Structure 1
Amino acid sequence: MSTQTNTKQDLIRGGQFLVKETKSEQVFTPEDFTDEQKMMKDSVREFVDREIWPHKEEFEKKNYALTEELMRKAGEMGFLGVSVEEEYGGLGMGFVTTMLVVDHISGATGSFSTAFGAHSGIGTLPISLYGTEEQKKKYLPKLTTGEWFGSYALTEPGAGSDANSGKTKAVLSEDGSHYKITGQKMWISNAGFCNLMIVFARIEDDKNITGFIVEYDRANPNGISLGEEEKKLGIHSSSTRQVFFNETKVPVENMLSERGSGFKIAMNALNVGRIKLAGACLDAQRRVITSAVNYANERVQFNTPIAQFGAIKSKLAEMATSAYVGEAASYRAAKDIEDRIAIRQENGESHQEAELKGVEEFAIECSILKVAVSEDLQNCTDEGVQIFGGMGFSADAPMESAWRDARITRIYEGTNEINRMLCVGMLVKKAMKGHVDLLGPATKVGEELTGIPSFDKPDYSELFAEEKEIIQNLKKVFLMVAGSAVQKFGAELEQHQQLLLASADILIEIYMAESGILRTEKNVARLGEETQKEQIAMSKLYLYHAVDIINARAKEGIISIAQGDEQRMMLMGLKRYTKYQNHPNIVELRNLIADKVISENKYSF
């Protein structure tokens, strides 16, 4: 089924989901994939099932050569250059298709997923998005085919989350022909087999770092040396090394963009990396769920397959629900970005500029997804271990490595704590610039709190009528808590990290819960309610948990920033805004979802 690009009137700006109603027909869902996208998905899954999944155990033996070999095969298939324009050797496909490839190529092992993401994302994108025509013609064809591999050298021993504080220096030569880079980088993915590094260094005493394209030839290292492969908790066959530069000569024409623009390049590359990391966590969840239900159907205790026990059903239902909602939110945001890129290109912007600004527009959603889906993957693998019981703790079963590989996703592309604070901080900045009107809706919430509540009994006869009202009320909770925090602390809000983290959790749960409901509502409208019984159950189950999380986090915020009558009024408002008229039967919902997964012996949505 094809889908239309949203019109300019339909398009919302990043972060506006909080204050503008989104209708289900406006969102893109996985059920909207075009025939071309479905063919691409099948092609990627066939590659993974043929080339990667059978070697899953080998990836635990630090077989870096295997990762490099399979990356080269992925390049031959065209997967490394899905988003790169055709004139530079890529497939020139849209943002949704790029997400689709990242999603389905990443499910078998975290080692290959990390190598793929580091190369096709942050190792290639800075050239694609910021490179000159000469740089793109010189490097992109090699990177898209797998002839060369890329890496991204930003992190330093003293500069992790504070990326702009790096000490690596770039000194211009006397004849002005090249820079000499000296410094140390760490945690560099693909370092052991890369041919090119995106390196960030500081020129003189510049406020901001500068980006450079640095070639690396092992036979002629040009002042570059590598540390030993890091010993890591997971992603064992992902090459991760320290990189040392000792007056490494880099031609001046290899500077990326302008001097001092490295921090901007790094942040925008990470925005893309964040939403794609969410995508990379999706098929990992699907495969973990399928492995878990296969085992639960086969494992017999007390003369009964353990899949039939309520405790196991509860786990399978929660795992499936998180995966379903993660898909909904990830592809919703991906299509919003794709539509924004298309509109910008229609307005005359280059592909480079349109993609840069399109992704930047939805940086809030990118951070939300990075946090939510990476944590759902961690929870999913943890429950997978538990379903396998003692076997789950054994390296002979697939769950042990899946759990370890999942752990890194909460750290790279900016830790989840950093991303939580970023999504709230960016939203506040957008409001101050007038891009998202938070003040008007926040003022209305304040008036509502002091007004007399309505005692009319609402009509909830339509599907999701109550759930959609709850979503709108949860948005009021965010406006109430975050608005009060901004009013109290103003520009100093960023110093109150625990409040930011609480506000972020509210924001995240709103976006994810709403995405699940919109996906299901859209599919009910076109496929019928009977075909979506389990999807309806998952949407309701996720929202139920979201209400509980938001209630707890909002209460924490309210009692930390308000006192006396103000506190009592806000707590009463919280109770009103998180209230169900008709509580869903959670056990029934879980059983319905689990029975579907168990009967089909796989994640089946």
Structure 2
Amino acid sequence: MVAIPESSPSSELPTGGAFLLQEVGSTRIVSPETFTEEQRLYLKTALQFSREQVMPQSDRIEAKDNALLRELLRRAGELGLLMTDIPEAYGGMGLDKTTSLLLAECMSLQGSWSVTFGAHVGIGTLPIVWFGNEAQKAKYLPQLATGEKVAAYALTEQGSGSDALGAKTKAVLSADGTHYVLNGSKLYITNAGFADVFVVFAKVNGDKFTGFIVERDTPGFTVGPEEHKMGIRGSSTCPLFFEDARVPVENVLGEVGRGHKIAFNILNYGRLKLGAGVVGGMKLAIEDTVRFAQERKQFNTPIVRFPLLREKFARMATLTYALESMTYRTAGLVDAKLSGKERQAKDYDAHVIAAIEEYAIESSIMKVFGSEALGHVVDDAVQIHGGAGYIEEYPIERAYRDARINRIFEGTNEINRMLISGLLLKRAVKGELPLLAVAQSVEDELTHGTLPRARHEDALSAEERAAECLKRMALYGLKTAAETFGTELEQHQEVLAGLSDVVMDAFALDTMVTRTRQGVDAKGAMDPARVAMTRLFGMEAMTRSFDRTRRALCASAQGEALQAHLAKLAPLQVFTPYNPAELREAVVTAVEQAGGYPRSAA
């Protein structure tokens, strides 16, 4: 297998998706243990704001108090929490992306607020930051940075959700060339009830997909009534209507016919931020639930002592550790890509877009893995609460409802699963990633019965080996599918989706092993809880990923060819005996001592 041969981590920056081709620990990664003092200060400030000013207002927020949400945005602006991605020249701070993700994590303790905040600083503001001209930036960004004005993003329509380019809203240039006339509608627009500035997509002359900046008082533009949702009830969600709405030509965002560049690049960053956002929700769910379980007694025993519930706590913490590790590893890669770039330079935003696009595969992993991990965590939390978990008095009831939307936001999980495998193969075909060459070497290894071995003999040797096996499963499956289906591979979604799950498990375990090894103490010892979480994840990942790879092969071949594939795959189902109760106790003991998620950077 083609891999970096050094026994120590390399300083060379890997390309997007390269984790699948490199040995565990080939490059050092960013993690909460490596945060700078400045990053920790922002984390502390944002967490304090969220706990002291947002969470106590949850009842008012859930009652759709839009005035309160707007006021909270203004207060956040006063603290500089809306400015991280806005350049200094336009009233912002232009900070690193790791800091931006830390703020997203801290703001996610209250679901409706998280969506409100995220829509403003992300999809609402960033299109102007990245694609606005000088006049547009100067006009809008300073007020968006302080919260004086609120932003929203309007892409979805009745007939175009995942198929964003299928939008029907139309824009026609007026006879005098001074404005565009927009007709159509948009659905499910966050912050619409009180936003001042909307980034809207329409097709010029019915075919040139284009972005526009639309102000609230634009003639012919109206905001419909609030939607009543299953979750994130407190966030404002309304339809928009355009009836001969007159938008000045100077409000075209970017180039006419190039709106897809805006939409797709914003989604890439949104997916990465969603990973950070759900980390905060997962940590809060663990914190609330362990407190409840310590106080709640059954059979004269606190329910936190029951082994089956402790198993759930171990799973909750393990999934959080996996996602947190992957999220900040990816943020660190984006920041490293931007290292040395002058933030005041006119082309800096182009570099930001390119860096985020480089790690689009990892961002889609954050989105899918994160949203589904959050779902598992809040489901376990409700179960531990028992009947109380169904009662509005307890925060976990709202968290359970709020969590569901994340599998739909920023492109559905189905779409993102297709992107993970699809982008890997597309980059391979373009020669940007030597995936097929490495996959061929994997097949040669398997043909000769050669299996990966751990480079380090320590408590995570088995997990290192498991991560390498997972990569080989993914590579062998992708190569087989590509050779079988060729240009028709996109039509075999179940194959691509299943292999994407294997890729996700490989990235997660690779990252957990690397982070845990990096975080040794002064005596060179790894943290027992992190070791236990990594081992628990690795054992489950091996089982499910082997099954998913086998299913992908069964869908890609038959007869003797299939039997040959399965024979090559079989040795990768490596099992190392472990004591699940012992690992569980190592994790849950740390959870109890921390009063929540253990070893948080906060």
TM over 0.5: yes
CA distance in structure 2 between the partners assigned to 1:24 and 1:116 by the alignment: 36
Q: Secondary structure of 1:209's match? A: strand
Q: What's the TM-score once normalised by structure 2's chain length?
A: 0.95
Q: Say which of 509, 514, 523 aligns to 1:518.
A: 514
Q: 1:214 corresponds to which residue? A: 214
Q: 1:598 corresponds to which residue? A: 592
Unaligned runs of 5+ residues in structure 2 are: 1-8
Unaligned runs of 5+ residues in structure 1 are: 1-6
Amino acid at match of 1:114: V
Count of residues in Structure 1 that have an aligned counterpart in Structure 2: 591
Sequence identity (%):
40
Q: Is 2:174 the partner of 1:177?
A: no
- Structure 2 matches for 1:457-468, cutoff 5 A? 461-468=457-464
- Contact persistence 1:24–1:521 (CA under 8 A): no
Amino acid at match of 2:216: Y
- Structure 2 matches for 1:560-571, cutoff 5 A? 560-571=555-566
- Structure 2 matches for 1:374-523, cutoff 5 A? 374-453=371-450, 461-523=457-519
Q: Is 2:138 the partner of 1:134?
A: no
Query: How far is the alpha carbon of 1:58 from its aligned partner?
Result: 2.8
Q: 1:123 corresponds to which residue? A: 124
Q: Is 2:337 the partner of 1:340?
A: yes
CA distance in structure 2 between the partners assigned to 1:329 and 1:119 by the alignment: 25
Q: Is 2:529 the partner of 1:534?
A: yes
CA distance in structure 1 between the partners assigned to 2:228 and 2:439 by the alignment: 49
Q: Say which of 19, 25, 28 aligns to 2:30.
A: 28
Q: 2:6 corresponds to which residue? A: none
- Structure 2 matches for 1:34-113, cutoff 5 A? 34-107=36-109, 109-113=110-114
Q: Is 2:269 the partner of 1:275?
A: no
Change (3 A) 1:90 1:8: farther
Q: Is 2:544 the partner of 1:544?
A: no
Q: 1:4 corresponds to which residue? A: none
Q: Secondary structure of 1:57's match? A: helix
Change (3 A) 1:215 1:348: closer
CA distance in structure 2 between the partners assigned to 1:309 and 1:437 by the alignment: 49
Q: Say which of 555, 574, 578 aligns to 1:584.
A: 578
Q: Secondary structure of 2:82's match? A: helix
CA distance in structure 2 between the partners assigned to 1:12 and 1:531 by the alignment: 25
Query: How far is the alpha carbon of 1:8 from its aligned partner?
Result: 10
CA distance in structure 2 between the partners assigned to 1:458 and 1:469 by the alignment: 5
Judge which range, 526-535 or 588-597, deviates more.
526-535
Amino acid at match of 1:356: I
- Contact persistence 2:463–2:509 (CA under 8 A): no
Q: Is 2:268 the partner of 1:284?
A: no
CA distance in structure 2 between the partners assigned to 1:247 and 1:318 by the alignment: 54
CA distance in structure 2 between the partners assigned to 1:543 and 1:358 by the alignment: 30
Q: Is 2:397 the partner of 1:365?
A: no
Query: How far is the alpha carbon of 1:446 from its aligned partner?
Result: 1.9
CA distance in structure 2 between the partners assigned to 1:146 and 1:68 by the alignment: 8
Change (3 A) 1:527 1:185: farther
- Structure 2 matches for 1:152-163, cutoff 5 A? 152-163=153-164
Root-mean-square deviation (CA), in Å? 1.9
- Contact persistence 2:24–2:513 (CA under 8 A): no
Query: How far is the alpha carbon of 1:558 from its aligned partner?
Result: 1.2
Q: What's the TM-score once normalised by structure 1's chain length?
A: 0.94
Q: 1:575 corresponds to which residue? A: 570
Q: Secondary structure of 1:384's match? A: helix
CA distance in structure 2 between the partners assigned to 1:364 and 1:486 by the alignment: 18
CA distance in structure 2 between the partners assigned to 1:34 and 1:255 by the alignment: 39
CA distance in structure 2 between the partners assigned to 1:366 and 1:166 by the alignment: 25
Query: How far is the alpha carbon of 1:458 from its aligned partner?
Result: 7.6
Q: Secondary structure of 1:151's match? A: strand
Query: How far is the alpha carbon of 1:103 from its aligned partner?
Result: 0.9
- Contact persistence 2:171–2:183 (CA under 8 A): yes
**Per-residue CA shift, 1:335-390, capped at 9, x if unaligned?**
10111122555998721111010101000100010000111111111111111100
Query: How far is the alpha carbon of 1:280 from its aligned partner?
Result: 0.7
**Per-residue CA shift, 1:9-32, capped at 9, x if unaligned?**
610110111112352661011111
Change (3 A) 1:346 1:241: closer
Query: How far is the alpha carbon of 1:226 from its aligned partner?
Result: 1.7
CA distance in structure 2 between the partners assigned to 1:154 and 1:391 by the alignment: 38
Q: 1:250 corresponds to which residue? A: 247
Amino acid at match of 2:582: E
- Contact persistence 1:24–1:522 (CA under 8 A): no
Change (3 A) 1:560 1:535: same
CA distance in structure 1 between the partners assigned to 2:179 and 2:200 by the alignment: 15
Amino acid at match of 1:523: G
Amino acid at match of 1:466: A
Amino acid at match of 2:214: V
Query: How far is the alpha carbon of 1:601 from its aligned partner?
Result: 2.3
CA distance in structure 1 between the partners assigned to 2:387 and 2:26 by the alignment: 43
Q: Secondary structure of 1:199's match? A: strand
Q: Is 2:239 the partner of 1:238?
A: no
Change (3 A) 1:302 1:453: same
CA distance in structure 2 between the partners assigned to 1:588 and 1:572 by the alignment: 34
CA distance in structure 2 between the partners assigned to 1:95 and 1:458 by the alignment: 33
Change (3 A) 1:148 1:301: same
Amino acid at match of 1:412: F
CA distance in structure 1 between the partners assigned to 2:552 and 2:38 by the alignment: 47
